[in-house]
Amino acid sequence: MLFNSQAFIIVFLPLTLIAYYGLSGHRTARQISVIVASLWFYGWWDVRFVPLLLGLTVANWLIARWFGGTGQRWIPVLGVVLNLLVLALFKYADFLRGTAFGLLNEPWQRWNLILPLGISFFVFQKISYLIDLRRGDRHIYGFLDFCMFVMFFPQLIAGPLIRHNEIIHQFGRPPRRPEMWENLSRGLVLFVIGVAKKVALADTMAMIADPLFHQAASAPLPAIPAWVAAFAYTLQIYFDFSGYSDMAIGLGRMFGFAFPMNFNAPYRAVSVRDFWRRWHMTLSRFLRDYLYIPLGGNRGSAARQIVNVVATMLLGGLWHGANWTFVVWGGLHGAALAVNHLWEKAGIRLPRAAAWLLTLVFVMAGWVLFRSASFGEAWGILAGMVGANGGGRIVLDQTSVLAMSAGFLIATLGPASQDIALRWARPPEWLAIPAGATLAYLLLLIGGRLPNVFIYFQF
């Protein structure tokens, strides 16, 4: 089930909220209602993977309880290995086999295992908890608390990557009527912003970018179509994923829970380091705390720091997808972060406008590699962007031009979504009318299209 579907907005969400607040005085009952709703939400996509989600959740809870009873430090490691093996089987089996057989120049057949929805996110979530246990955090939770931590539907499929100590303590707070309407209003405003980003902007950008990328897979693009493809996808992935995050955070707030921010106007960044402080912020801190720092972080020589950051980003790229294009994309960002560090250490400063433009062009070129199914497809666009295939031309309809222009202005000049819905003063009552009208329009727009899945669903 998609957040941007009529079934979710009109049926699933109201029923789940009614059940949750109707059981506000009974913690066990309201948690069970959310867990059952979350399994319904997850199983709507493919019910075959519900046993995997349940089984892995129970296994991790039992491992945590086992560790809590014995304190033996190898037990959480066993849990981490179990999670990584499950992720490797479903996500990387064909990738690893294909790489090995390719090096041996041997024929092979793909297993074509179906990737369970959201597996990268809920596996990382469990891994962070187990590592925290091993590091000395002694939070051993009850079964319902742990299940709700893992399965709570707003963040189950594509994050944000929420840590146990950020959310589980909130489950014990009974929903209070004075706070309920404020949480519902704030959450709804942020949810509507997210739906608008996805449906009105990201999906429109997809209609521009997708045909051009498909064309580049068979024939290199000239300069103008290549830049349009890169620009459109740069806007598409931002509004798609930040829109999902807005919806997820807004949904969490409707239930009275505060999620961490995940995006903070990343296309305003003036360096690659600044970009990663603003883009998918919960993943960035996961990579920092559970990969970069354990590898040595900023300790040691400059060469060692470079190795650490490049290794971290290579693994971060691989997490995004089982394709060498993702690995190279991660490596490029790792190298850029290393150069950025050396640049700053040398005291070099560019004018802010030049630093912003250089960062944006680098990020845009990186997204070409990220989006492409092969290096040939990526080269078909990147070569065009540097003028290798002539100028060319492209004809865009008025809606596409307006959407691209509005998207660029919003992404670079507009406020962060959370600042509008969560940090400003309480939303005024009159806002209910335009918010409701906007949601009604978006529902009509959704009904006129086939719902597009979110880009990060494939990760």
Residues 252 and 115 in one domain: no
pLDDT level of residue 41 (50, 70, 90 thresholds): very high
Question: Same domain, yes or no, for 344 and 200?
Answer: yes
Let me know whether 154 and 201 are in one domain: no
End position of a domain, from candidates 126, 147, 174: 174
Dist CA 81 CA 309 (whole Å): 23
Would you mind telling me the total number of residues written for the chain in this entry? Answer: 459
pLDDT band at 101 (very low <50, low <70, confident <90, very high): confident
- Give start and end residues of each alpha helix (H) in 272-301: 272-278, 281-287, 293-295
Q: Is residue 264 part of a domain?
A: yes
Q: Are 49 and 117 in contact (CB under 8 A)?
A: yes
Q: Which residues fall within 8 angstroms of residue 376, CB to CB, at 6 or more apart? A: 217
- The winner for highest mean pLDDT among 30-34, 90-94, 443-447 is 30-34
Classify residue 223: in a domain, yes or no.
yes
Residue 355 lies in a domain: yes
Range of the domain at 121: 6-174
Q: Is 255 helix (H, G, I), strand (E, B) or coil?
A: coil
* Residues 305, 204 share a domain: yes
Query: Is residue 1 in some structural domain?
Result: no
Q: Compute the distance between CA of residue 187 and CA of residue 247 in angstroms, rounded to an integer.
A: 8
Predicted confidence band of residue 179 (pLDDT cuts 50, 70, 90): confident
Q: List the Cα angle 120/295/166 in 5-degree steps.
A: 50
Query: Is residue 352 in some structural domain?
Result: yes
pLDDT tens profile 270-284: 999 999 999 999 999
The secondary structure of 143-186, three-state, reads HHHHHHHHHCHHHHCCCCCCCHHHHHHHHHCCCCHHHHHHHHHH
Does pLDDT of 382 surpass 70? Answer: yes
Is residue 260 assigned to a domain? yes
Task: Please determine, for residue 425, whether its predicted confidence score (pLDDT) is greater than 60.
Answer: no
Q: Are residues 434 and 387 in the same domain?
A: yes
**Angle at 334 (CA atoms; ends 372, 209), nearest 5 degrees:** 20
Tell me if 190 sits within 8 A of 277, measured CB to CB. Answer: no
The confidence band for 458, taking pLDDT boundaries of 50, 70 and 90, is: low
Looking at the structure, do residues 124 and 32 belong to the same domain, yes or no? Answer: yes
pLDDT band at 162 (very low <50, low <70, confident <90, very high): very high
- The span from the CA of 141 to the CA of 88, in Å, is 27
Query: Are 219 and 97 found together in one domain?
Result: no
71 with 93, same domain: the answer is yes
> Comparing 105-114, 269-278, 369-378, which segment has the lowest mean pLDDT?
105-114
The reply to whether 162 and 204 lie within a common domain is: no
Secondary structure of 60-97 in HEC code, one letter for each residue: HHHHHHHHHHHCCCHHHHHHHHHHHHHHHHHHHHHHHH
Same domain? For 212 and 74 the reply is no
Question: What pLDDT score does 422 carry?
Answer: 66
Whether residues 170 and 190 fall in one domain: no
Q: For residue 160, is the peptide bond before it cis, meaning its omega torsion is within 30 degrees of 0?
A: yes
Q: Is the pLDDT of residue 451 over 70?
A: no
Structure tokens at 262: 């995940």
Distances, alpha carbon 226 to alpha carbons 218, 255, 324, 390, in Å: 14, 44, 22, 11
Instruction: Quote the number of domains for the chain.
Output: 2
Residue 449 CB neighbour total at 10 angstroms: 11
* 386 plus 296 within the same structural domain: yes
In a domain, residue 266? The reply is yes
Whether residue 234 is predicted with pLDDT greater than 60 in this model: the reply is yes
Report how far apart, in Å, the C-alpha atoms of 433 and of each of 10, 189, 428 are.
Answer: 17, 11, 10
pLDDT, averaged across the chain: 90
Q: Contact, 330 vs 315, CB < 8 A? A: yes
Residue 220 has pLDDT above 80, yes or no: yes
Q: Tell me the C-alpha distance between 337 and 273, whole Å.
A: 6
250 falls within a domain: yes
Residue with tokens 């589980």, as numbered in its chain: 168
Rounded to whole angstroms, the Cα distance separating 179 from 182 reads 5
DSSP string, 19-43: HHHHTTT-HHHHHHHHHHHHHHHHH
Task: Single out the residue in 174, 198, 225 at which a domain terminates.
Answer: 174
**8 Å CB contact between 163 and 196:** no
What residues are annotated to the active site? 320
Q: What is the pTM of this model?
A: 0.93
d(C-alpha 56, C-alpha 78), whole Å: 13
Of 140, 156, 174, the domain-final residue: 174
